[in-house]
Structure 1
Amino acid sequence: MHLNLKPRKRLSSKKSSSRLGASISLVLFMIGLPILSVVGMEFLERGDLPETMQWITGNQPLFMLNVGLTFFLLAFVYALVGSLAISGSITTLILGLMAIISYMKVKMIGEPFFPWDILLNKESMDIASLVTGKAALIRICAIAAVILIVLALRWVIPRVTLPIIARFGLGLFSLYALYAFGIKTPLAGKILDHAGVNEIVWDQQQNYANNGLTLAFTLNVKNSIVQKPDTYSEQALAAAAATIQGASSVQQETAGVRKAKATLADGKQPNVIFVMSEAFWDPTLLENVTFSEDPLPTIHRLQQESSSGYLLSPQYGGGTSNVEFEVLTGNSMSFLPGGSIPYQQYISKPIPSLASYFADKGYKSMGIHSYEGWFWDRNNVYKQLGFESFKSSEHFDNPETKGYFISDAEVARNVINEVDKTENPMFIYTVTMQNHGPYDDPRYGENQFKATGNLSAQAKSILETYTQGAHDADQSLQMMIDHFKDLDEPTMIVFYGDHLPMLGMDYQVYKEAGFISTSDANKWSLEEIKKMHSIPLVTWANFDMPKQDIPVLSDSFLGAHVLDMLHMEKPANFALNAELAQQVPGLLSNLIVDQDGQLHATVPESAAPLIADYRNVQYDLMFGKQYLAAYLDHDYLTKGTQTGYNAEFGVPGAAPQSEAIGSQEAKPARAQ
């Protein structure tokens, strides 16, 4: 008996030692990997090691919160997988992808990676093909190498096996912790406040820079759902309706508005054509740069002859659909979470818009875009906005291409053809694609317009390629003018861009040309913010229309302004826009321009009540109980989709209006 006990004691001691080693390995792995992951993510996203270390040492509570969130993600994956090395590899892959996507987005359009970007699918592949470069490939290779190293630890560290019940408990606790910080429960809120977290929802680039990628991303989860304004109620909407009715009466008296229809002297309703030209901007605004000849002769002539000015866009370098959203609905991105995409996130039921308004006036409302219909989910969204049809690139007949995409001239020909063959007056919302970035490849061959100035060779090439495309957009506008000027059918064209082009990484061309003082957008003055969001706007009509100067006007107020120009009665939400535009013609999340042209970082006190009405009306129409429709414009505000949407292009499954609400297919999209 005595001889048999000694080996068992040795075996028991070895087992205890092995378990202790495995437990230590588990603890070290679960703590060490999150620390190294946060350091690596911040380095990948920021692109500068000294800056990364400075952030870590200067913001230790925030750093530890990022580590904690990473730990909970690792613990949750481990609870599912049961292997340290494999769960570490999966977590590293997830975090690495977050960092590289955020890095690429910031370089492209100045916006980091948001929770709603996870919905990207086919669209992300198309965008990725345009932004690959040495810096991105180095980061991808580094992430792949780290994943392989972590996976190789499977043959180094002792195997740890937790009981199923322990893994289940760890998984539930980790999932709840992530959920708590994502929606900011009271306890999580206290922890965040104690750590000194300052969430900057109106400036997401600064939000991520201050709080760290993991924490800022997690905090944005709650922003995926738009919060109801504190002032939203039926009584508030009744008060807003009274304000709108009073404003409409004054506007009709002072402007002589003819109700119910836009009618010219000969009794005809005019075609109304909006042309939103991809990334269109005036490169001659670069004061320290000159060109061999004027690239935009049509635009510059119309600025002298017709109503023109500048629109204040909520976007830079991308996010085209957000500009469409503002113009078509009259709603503002200022009241939505920073970086959100309404087409992708919120429009799943009929929303009143210019398209549905003109349809009520006997118009054929049509969208035209020279790219595929799934981009930004326009196939579904345009239906919800009240268009009768949407002509995307799939329905172009043997189109001409220039550079990477269908040419602007081809788009102009399609607009002309649709107007010519349609008996009813038309409302057309046109979106072009030809001059979509990037511009570092001279895709138009030998550029006609040579830039001279203090520019690097790369910046000069980028600017000249962009300018060639802008010239083509200018000429496509002239093509439409040449056709419609002698037509006996009254026609109005509203031409503008969606956002400034991304001329190189880190605002390269703008910085070298002296248009801005720094490539750090967080340090821009209010005047620089305004410059980097101001887009040329020109109008033209083949009938008499008084010339107006428009110093600044938000995209969300453009629809109301055009209806005024046409002497059309404005529906409730657009009437409110017109009233607000008199006080604050420029409204962005981080910039307010008042009626005197003064710039403000926050809402002036005098305009606060009307802006509160604007926000309440927008929430009511998009997410609320449609209280406003009980007081004003019920049929317009509650209108469903058009029967037979896109039937002319053979699109099956068009639902009648009574079945349309809530019928949108859940197919998210991302583009431009």
Structure 2
Amino acid sequence: MKLPAFFSSPLAQRCIPIALPILALIAGRIWVDTQWNMPRVGFSLLLYFFFAAFLQRWAAVVATLALEGLLLNISYIKEVATSEPLLGADLFEVGQGMALTGYMDWHIWAYALILLAALAYGLWRHPSFSKRRVGLALILCVLVGMQLDSTGKMSAYAQPLMAQYLGSNYSNYNFRVNARQNGILGHLMLTAETAHKPKAGQHQFYTQALAAAENPSSPDIVVVMCESCYTDARLPTKMAELTQAGFSEARVISPVYGGGTAEAEFEALTGLSAYTLPGIDFQNFAGQFSDKISALPHALADVGYTTIGMHNYFGTFWKRQTVYPKMGFQRIAFVDQMYWKRKDGWPKDFSLYNQALAHYKVAPAGKKQFMFLVTVNTHGPFIKENDSGITQYQARLGQAIDEFKTFTQQIEASAKARKRDVIIVIFGDHKPGLNQEFYERGIFDASFFSNRDPKNLQFKNILNQEQTRIRGDVPLFIKGSRDPEQAQVLADKLQSRPLFCLPAELARLSENTDPFYNAVAERCAKNEGFYTKDLWWRSVFPEAVYAERLFAETK
């Protein structure tokens, strides 16, 4: 059959080789995420133009689709594990992703191999230099450069441009919504924006505050942030046995679920809500934080405490080795200073406790001690054994609690020998990522999820404030070595409060004079305004307080 004359015309001979790969790219979306909208197609085309500058056109199509599929699958795995999608900043923090390697499946390996093959073939058959190809490739490069501008001025121009010409809609307070609306490529582009420092300004935060505590006892303080540690009447675990060991229990509200440990850590150390700053605060702001962050370790160090921060994983993880000294930890230690038998998986918590105990035992008898310990043994994933993964979770949590109880006994004995009172706190940083188990036990109901498959439940993009509060509910146990009543009073003050109330109450046990903690304690005592409406944290903590306490900027 003879083709119409148009197809043999010079114009067609020039346009068809260009148009066919683009049409194939658009059609190939069924291979990636089966969705077509303006942002998805637009950002895919920008990536294709970038690849086509140095790859043969059909190889550029395959490379674009393979990279998008790879990123989408990685994001899906991160979202299942942590309830948060892949972020632009994650691409520059490869070390943080090492925690998710246990979740990787064959889809990721397949997309990675296809991508490598496309790159190899495309470079082999690379096109000759073309100003048009380079010009189109530079569009993506310029937008990325604008998004990464450390001043934030260029991203302020880039985002309206992407909204106007690519149809993007940036939801910087709900990254799951952002990924759904813009596709993974658009989402990563938008979240590549440098998280800008909060603005300094005047505020009246300190005008409402509790009176300083009378005759504070200034005990030694040991806080354990226990990875994924959880218990509930509907999902009892060995953690509940701590009440039999003299601990008082409270329920507190973590800002994260299933992951994002550093956000819970941020609240527990600063007394500020983690919701104000987008993304993971440690990761985004490590280099911009003041050298003296106004955090609990500094408040205690200023009144004579030795402050120690430890984690039985790498110091580069969430940039703790950079952030901890700025927060006021005088001594820090990470897994490279501890015993770790790598073939057994995540480092065991006893190695962390042994290191902490060694420091505590050699401390001068009259020297006050504050230790903040972050565990990792109960980190996911939890392998399913014809169940939701609960069997493995219970076994690992049981081991973690046994090791904690042993540590508690040793610390109390050492405190007695040093003639010091010690307050011991342990709390779960977030619930474990066991959606199916929480659903089946009635902790979450169907209204939390966007689907009805109990083996693959995914949270709705937007939860109401009560659902967010329930999702963040975690246990906290506290014990005083000399005064059990004091521990119960503290537990009552923390009951049903956000996690940022904890450092306020701990600071008030000491002679510190920082008015911030009395101001936070006043708001926690009222327990009003928390989880009440959208962006509720803005009415609790003025932005200028963040600028002042984290970045030492005032106006």
What range describes the TM-score normalised by the shorter chain of this pair? 0.7 to 0.9
**Aligned partners of 1:108 and 1:70: how far apart in 2?**
26
Which residues of 2 match residues 88-167 of structure 1 at below 5 A? 88-124=61-97, 126-132=98-104, 136-142=105-111, 144-145=113-114, 148=117, 164-167=130-133
Match of 2:208 among 216, 238, 247: 247
Match of 1:225 in 2: 195
Paired residues of 1:329 and 1:354 also in contact (CA < 8 A):
yes
Distance across 2 between alignment mates of 1:220 and 1:98:
14
Residue 280 of structure 2 corresponds to 341
Deviation readout 1:102-141 (Å, 9 max, x if unpaired): 11111211111110001223443x3243113xxx213532
2:32 counterpart letter in structure 1 = M
Matched position secondary structure for 2:208: helix
> What is residue 369 of structure 1 aligned with on the other side?
311
Indicate yes or no: 2:533 matched with 1:601. Answer: yes
Q: Which moved more, 1:322-331 or 1:543-552?
A: 543-552
Number of residue pairs the alignment of both structures matches? 523
User: Within 2, Cα distance between the matches of 1:167 and 1:525?
Assistant: 47
Q: Go from structure 1 to structure 2 and tell me whether the alpha carbon gap of 1:435 and 1:143 turns closer, same or farther (over 3 Å shift).
A: closer
AA partner of residue 483 (structure 1): A
1:67 to 13, 16, 41: 41
Of 364-373 and 88-97, the range deviating more from structure 2: 88-97
Take 2:343 and 2:395, find their aligned partners in 1: how far apart are those partners? 12
Q: 1:560 matched to which residue of 2?
A: 504
TM-score by length of 2: 0.82
- Relative distance call for 1:70 and 1:181 in structure 2 (3 A) is farther
Picking from 315, 327, 331, the partner of 2:256 is 315
CA distance in 2, matches of 1:458, 1:420: 42
Instruction: Verify the 8 A CA contact 2:52 2:60 in the aligned structure 1.
Output: yes
Report how far residue 399 of structure 1 moved. Answer: 6.4
Contact 2:377 2:396 survives alignment (8 Å): no
Residue identity opposite 1:516 in structure 2:
F
Given that residues 85 and 176 in structure 2 are in contact (C-alpha distance below 8 angstroms), is that contact kept between their aligned partners in structure 1? yes
Which residue identity does 1:138 align to in structure 2?
H
- Write the mapping of 1:105-504 to structure 2, written as runs, cut at 5 A: 105-124=78-97, 126-132=98-104, 136-142=105-111, 144-145=113-114, 148=117, 164-176=130-142, 189=160, 192=163, 199-222=170-193, 224-226=194-196, 228=198, 232-233=200-201, 236=202, 239-240=203-204, 243-244=205-206, 246-248=207-209, 250-252=210-212, 255-256=213-214, 258=215, 262=216, 264=217, 269-282=218-231, 284-286=232-234, 296-299=240-243, 302=246, 306=248, 308-337=249-278, 340-348=279-287, 349-350=290-291, 351-396=293-338, 398=339, 403-423=344-364, 424-440=367-383, 457-472=387-402, 475-476=405-406, 478-480=408-410, 482-484=412-414, 486-487=416-417, 488-503=419-434
Shift in alpha-carbon separation, 1:402–1:533, aligned structure 2, 3 A: farther
Shift of residue 309, structure 1, vs aligned partner = 1.2
Q: One-letter code of the match for 2:496? A: V
SS in 2 for 1:405: coil
The letter of the residue matching 1:415 is A
Which residue number corresponds to residue 50 of structure 2? 76
Question: 2:469: which partner in 1?
Answer: 530
Cα distance per residue 1:577-623 (max 9 Å; x no partner): 223323446xxxxxx63xxxxx523256xx965433xx221123334
Q: Which moved more, 1:520-529 or 1:371-380?
A: 520-529
CA distance in 2, matches of 1:185, 1:413: 49
State the distance in 2 between where 1:432 and 1:290 align: 20
**CA-CA distance at 1:173 after TM superposition:** 3.9
The CA distance in 2 between the partners of 1:179 and 1:393, in whole Å, is 36
Query: For the residues of structure 1 that align with 2:94 and 2:119, how far apart are their CA atoms?
Result: 28
**Whole-angstrom CA distance in 2 between matches of 1:514 and 1:37:** 41
Give me the whole-angstrom Cα distance separating, in 1, the residues matched to 2:368 and 2:171. Answer: 46
In 2 relative to 1, CA 400–274 (structure 1 residues): closer, same or farther, beyond 3 Å? farther
CA distance in 1, matches of 2:420, 2:552: 41
Q: In 2, Cα distance between the equivalents of 1:169 and 1:408? A: 54
Deviations 1:420-450 (A, max 9, x none): 10112211111112222222178xxxxxxxx
- Cα pair distance change 1:465/1:18, threshold 3 Å: farther
Candidates 24, 27, 36, aligned match of 2:19: 27
Deviation string, structure 1 residues 304-354 (Cα, Å, up to 9, x no partner): xx4x412211111122222222211223211111xx122222022412222
CA drift of 1:187 comes to 8.7
Q: Distance in 1 between matches of 2:11 and 2:120?
A: 21
Whether 1:541 aligns to 2:473 is: no
| Amino acid across the alignment from 1:384 | K
Tell me the amino acid that sits aligned with residue 546 of structure 2.
Answer: Q
Cα distance in 2 between the residues matched to 1:463 and 1:179: 43
What is the distance in 2 between the residues matched to 1:356 and 1:498? 22
Name stretches of at least 5 consecutive residues in structure 1 with no aligned partner.
Answer: 1-12, 43-51, 57-62, 443-455, 586-591, 594-598, 628-672
Distance 2:24 2:361 in 1: 68
Do 1:321 and 1:343's aligned partners in 2 also have CA atoms closer than 8 Å? yes
Q: Measured at CA, do residues 160 and 346 of structure 1 come closer, stay the same or move farther in structure 2, by a change above 3 Å?
A: closer
Are residues 422 and 251 of structure 1, via their aligned partners in 2, closer, same or farther at CA, if it must alter by over 3 Å?
same
SS at match of 1:540: strand
CA contact (8 A) 2:299 2:507 kept: no
| Mapped contact 1:277–1:473 kept (Cα < 8 A) | no
Q: In the aligned structure 1, how far is the partner of 2:115 from the partner of 2:134?
A: 28
> 1:625 and 1:357 mapped to 2: Cα distance?
18
Q: Which amino acid aligns with 2:286?
A: I
Change beyond 3 A, Cα 1:481–1:143: closer
Tell me what 1:41 maps to.
Answer: 32
Match of 2:451? none
Deviation at 1:474, TM superposition (A): 5.0
Q: Secondary structure at the match of 1:112?
A: coil
| Deviation sequence 1:495-529 (CA, Å, 0-9, x none) | 112111123xxx12212222211333217564443
Q: Is the 8 A contact 1:327 1:555 kept in 2?
A: yes
- Provide the C-alpha distance between the structure 2 equivalents of 1:142 and 1:320, rounded to a whole number of angstroms: 29
Cα deviation for residue 172 of structure 1 reads 3.4
Matching residue of 1:654 = none
Q: Is the CA contact 1:329–1:556 (under 8 Å) kept in the aligned structure 2?
A: yes
The sequence identity of aligned pairs, in percent, is 21
Contact preservation (8 Å) 1:560, 1:578? yes
| Amino acid of the structure 2 residue aligned with 1:28 | L
Question: Where in structure 2 are there 5+ consecutive unaligned residues?
Answer: 149-153, 447-456
